[in-house]
Structure 1
């Protein structure tokens, strides 16, 4: 959510940021709505003041026994009450109109976010590891998984439809091992607090993190009016909603391993095969909630925590700074981690780490009060994948495959696999 006072004071800067986001100028339209809201508020306050004045005069007229004046004032107050009801309705409509428009606009990109329209304009920041040179034609993860007897799309499709998978035996254990390994790394080494959260949330929670109302088609809605979470970012970030917190509570760093559910409306192309883009998948999420002056440094820290996972799994990757046109709705700045996939001979996203500034906090009314200060401030929120479990699994299968169809387990994962070093067909 945007601060209308900032727009009022910096209309040109706001329009420049929206233009960078690929939208037209927005400030003039928003300020017209703001003017209408302020005029409606002033009208209501004026009527309230007049009513209060006349209400006092009613008491004085009654005390003097002036029945004519008393009746006249009562009639005037009744008329004012009716006018106030109408004014309150107009104020509510004007307030909702402005709020709806402010809620529909994406976050403002930070100054160092590159301009651009899509992924072709993203900038590589750094890379790690060299893609392995295979002495044979590498298989994709679907062929590897099916060869291991642990990946079954047909059974999943029979019971659930497309974009679901059944993992069995060795692969089911590998999926569990990856999640446990990531949680241990983030809690024991990186200082995140493990959290178990609801998988069903109300409208307010998805509005708070920016998925509603704009992206309702990408979510699964239940018959009782709740939503399946698209990521643990939603419940984790909403833990601080509708409250004023003590300064000492921050930085707050949280992690959770959950299933995630996405309708993938309109998704098509090469990702329809395999585990890249599923309706249900597992992810280890990272969320940081910090004071405003800490968020830029926290984004670098969070990205480094996700990178550490990929290095431990011996997976070549690169870090991409997303351009303004490719960032998510709620982000001010985003780094994508892209892992190397031999079967596609390219890098593909496995983690996205974003600084949302106070954008989500305003939607959630999540604030804190500095020690010795009276006025509360909005918190800054960040989120990132630490990392997507399914994509980590397919990356391990492809990067560590052998010619005989077996897969070598990275050393960091072996304690979580009961000491198994190789998955064999």
Structure 2
């Protein structure tokens, strides 16, 4: 959530930054300010009436002390009238505050000044490239062909039990998925200093609202009902990413400055409806309703936010470097930024069988945006409560990493080599037909 003080005092800047996203949310600024001004007028009136009530109450005490009961009773009737008016104004203040907050929840974060202005992904900027695309002396097969031939993934049975957008990893395919997850968790905890957590897979709507996924994207998530009772549908939701739950671990808390930075990593399955997304129904692992991911979360002081952001990108890159995969780092333009993000880098890995890059990680600094929505603060060394920066990044996501790995390491004889960094977890050097 944006800072209402910033909206009041830097209105043109906020409007310009929102307009750079291209979503039209800058039109909400005037509505928010109108409601904010109305709230402030109502509060001023309430405070004036409360002061008047206090004055009259003191006068009643004086009149009673002087034995002037009739005048005191008249003043009591006046205070009751003032109380009714105050109660009515308090009700109006609550309604206006709720309306203002509902509008502000629809406003995305302001892009950082270093984010290039652009309308779509075509205007994103490639920051750096690692390695060269794998070259095969034969026409590289797609991961679908490889997985089916090697018995790694059973797409048909997954579709039979769950429909399109799901995968059934089998045998060595399941072991490879598990090996990649374990490899990434060990890397981030042992080398990068993250604390592993294993969070719940269902959360209440407040957590989705806290990270900025609700209310804007509510139609893309799976609500959970207990039994056949529709009345409790929406009390819990399957998480779309570990960010949803892990970023909320300290919601509504006041941390100590000495507690920061906080670094968590978590493996979870992720569940997304992907409403309206093209290609969900196609075969393969490119776009899934359920997929695995290792997520990185940091909570840091604002002055450390962008240094931590660059470090988190390097942590995600290290996964791809150790796997020997060709990738590029892309800085997203304003029009392609996620709702809660102030600045985002995407890591896109080359998949030879697809002949294209696939996004396997988005690393974002949300600045204070999520902390405000979650009411997360820390007390600095001066005793002042401040909102920290909250960062998130995939470290990395499967199944697209799986796609790139299988397609990159395929051999002419139909086998797939296992990258050296993963062999201790997988137990073999290659997967043969």
TM-score by length of structure 2 reads 0.95
Change (3 A) 1:271 1:192: farther
Matched-pair contact (CA < 8 Å) for 2:279–2:287: no
Q: How does 1:18-97 map to 2 (within 5 A)?
A: 18-22=18-22, 23=24, 24-97=26-99
Matched-pair contact (CA < 8 Å) for 2:274–2:280: no
Aligned with 1:131: secondary structure?
coil
Q: How does 1:372-391 map to 2 (within 5 A)?
A: 373-391=382-400
Q: How far apart, in 1, do the equivalents of 2:319 and 2:75 lie?
A: 75
Shift of 1:30: 2.3
Matched-pair contact (CA < 8 Å) for 2:331–2:346: yes
**Which residue of structure 2 lines up, in the alignment, with residue 414 of structure 1?**
423
**Which residue of structure 2 lines up, in the alignment, with residue 4 of structure 1?**
4
Q: How far apart, in 1, do the equivalents of 2:217 and 2:139 lie?
A: 40
Shift of 1:27: 3.3
The 10-residue stretch of structure 1 (3-12 or 320-329) with the greater mean CA deviation from structure 2 = 3-12
Aligned with 2:247: secondary structure?
helix
Aligned with 1:238: secondary structure?
coil
Q: How far apart, in 1, do the equivalents of 2:53 and 2:144 lie?
A: 74
Aligned with 2:263: secondary structure?
strand
**Which residue of structure 2 lines up, in the alignment, with residue 367 of structure 1?**
377
1:402 aligns with 2:404: no
Shift of 1:31: 1.6
Q: How far apart, in 1, do the equivalents of 2:424 and 2:256 lie?
A: 40
Q: Deviations over 1:53-109 (max 9, x none)?
A: 222222222333322112211211111111111101110111111111111111000
**Which residue of structure 1 lines up, in the alignment, with residue 14 of structure 2?**
14
Q: How does 1:146-295 map to 2 (within 5 A)?
A: 146-223=148-225, 224=232, 225-269=235-279, 272-295=282-305
Q: How far apart, in 2, do the equivalents of 1:303 and 1:80 lie?
A: 59
TM-score by length of structure 1 reads 0.97
CA RMSD of aligned residues (A): 1.3
1:302 aligns with 2:322: no
Shift of 1:25: 4.8
Matched-pair contact (CA < 8 Å) for 1:16–1:25: no
Q: How far apart, in 2, do the equivalents of 1:65 and 1:162 lie?
A: 85
Aligned with 1:46: secondary structure?
helix
Matched-pair contact (CA < 8 Å) for 1:200–1:228: yes
